[in-house]
Amino acid sequence: MIKKFAYMKIVVLISGSGSNLQAIMDACQSGYIAGQVVGVLSNKADAYGLVRAQQAGINTAIINHKEFATRQDFDLAMQKIIDAWQPDVVVLAGFMRILTPAFVQHFEGKLINIHPSLLPLYKGLHTHQRVLATGDKLHGCSVHFVNAELDGGAVIAQAVLTVAANEAEQSLIQRVHKLEHIIYPLVLNWLSYGRLSYQQGLPVLDGQTLSTPMKLLFD
């Protein structure tokens, strides 16, 4: 269970540019999130998110998944580094590795992810392309607690937009990215100020179990 923290310690896992990491760091700096990013871990040495973290004076670590014989060994190496940072919450922000059940169980209740679709729709990759191919009118992103199922786990909140007529994929990608930078800090705000917790596999917001995600509607 996640409870109210005097100062929430956040670890972020990345594989790329770290734009969501930047949004989270900015929200911590402003006080919107009552916490601090204490560590950033990447499986790719050239991930620009590491530069963002280092410029902000945040601890970083690189663990190349290609150097491990098994996923289990890789995840255990990550787990040891993350545990040393003693996080209250572990945030997946464009971390492009499938986690083992043992890793997920170790961090159960404090491991969250953002996915560029309105889960449970379009788990996996190429979500924007699939939305356009299907002709869906609505699209967006979801923040969820992580379980052993790919893009599974209870969904906390979703940012929803209307797909424009004849919208190009790149346009849709950019619009959803902007929503990610709003909804991820929002969920971390709820966590850090004690409004959101994890109880028996479900999110509880302001004392109410969320049987369906909180939805934020955008144009």
15 contacts 95 by C-beta, under 8 angstroms: yes
What's the sign of the alpha-carbon dihedral 19, 25, 28, 29?
negative
Selected catalytic residue, list 115, 128, 139, 181:
115
120 preceded by a cis bond (ω within 30 of 0) = yes
- Yes or no: say if 192 and 33 are a contact pair by the CB < 8 Å rule: yes
Q: Are residues 63 and 40 in contact, defined by beta-carbon separation less than 8 angstroms?
A: no
Instruction: Return the sign of the alpha-carbon dihedral for residues 170, 132, 92, 213.
Output: positive
* Identity of the residue numbered 18: G
Known catalytic membership, residue 115: yes
Question: Any idea which residues carry the catalytic annotation?
Answer: 115
